[in-house]
């Protein structure tokens, strides 16, 4: 698994640099206001924090640390993940 993620990460970095050097993708400015992006970022961050406190665990962290934790299928507040 570690080897897969390492190779994938290195390929993404390599192709990202290659595309940037060859200028294959035209960069365009975003039309979304930064203030709106910030508001939604903090809203999502807040809601995930509430869910972590509700479940008393973070599924990915539990798996990495070898704890049984909560299953990712059942994670979250039912109202938010209908």
Average pLDDT over residues 53-63: 78
Rounded percentage of the chain residues whose pLDDT exceeds 90: 37
Residue in this structure with the two tokens 């640390």, named with its chain if needed:
65
pTM metric for this prediction: 0.53
Distance CA 65, CA 56 (A): 15
Average pLDDT over residues 38-53: 90
What is the tens place of the pLDDT at every residue in 1-27?
889 999 999 999 999 999 989 988 888
What's the pLDDT at 45? Answer: 93
What b/e sequence results for 11-35 when a residue is b if at least 16 CB atoms lie within 10 Å of its CB, and e otherwise?
eeeeeeeeeeeeeeeeeeeeeeeee
Q: How many other C-beta atoms lie within 10 A of the C-beta of residue 43?
A: 10
Cβ partners under 8 Å of residue 25, min gap 6:
19
């Amino acid at each position: 698994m570690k080897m897969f993620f390492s190779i994938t990460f290195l390929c993404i970095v390599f192709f990202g640099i290659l595309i940037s050097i060859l200028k294959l993708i035209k960069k365009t400015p975003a039309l979304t206001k930064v203030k709106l992006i910030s508001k939604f970022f903090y809203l999502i961050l807040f809601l995930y924090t509430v869910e972590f406190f509700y479940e008393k665990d973070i599924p990915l962290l539990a798996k990495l640390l070898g704890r049984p934790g909560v299953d990712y299928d059942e994670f979250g507040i039912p109202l938010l993940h209908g």
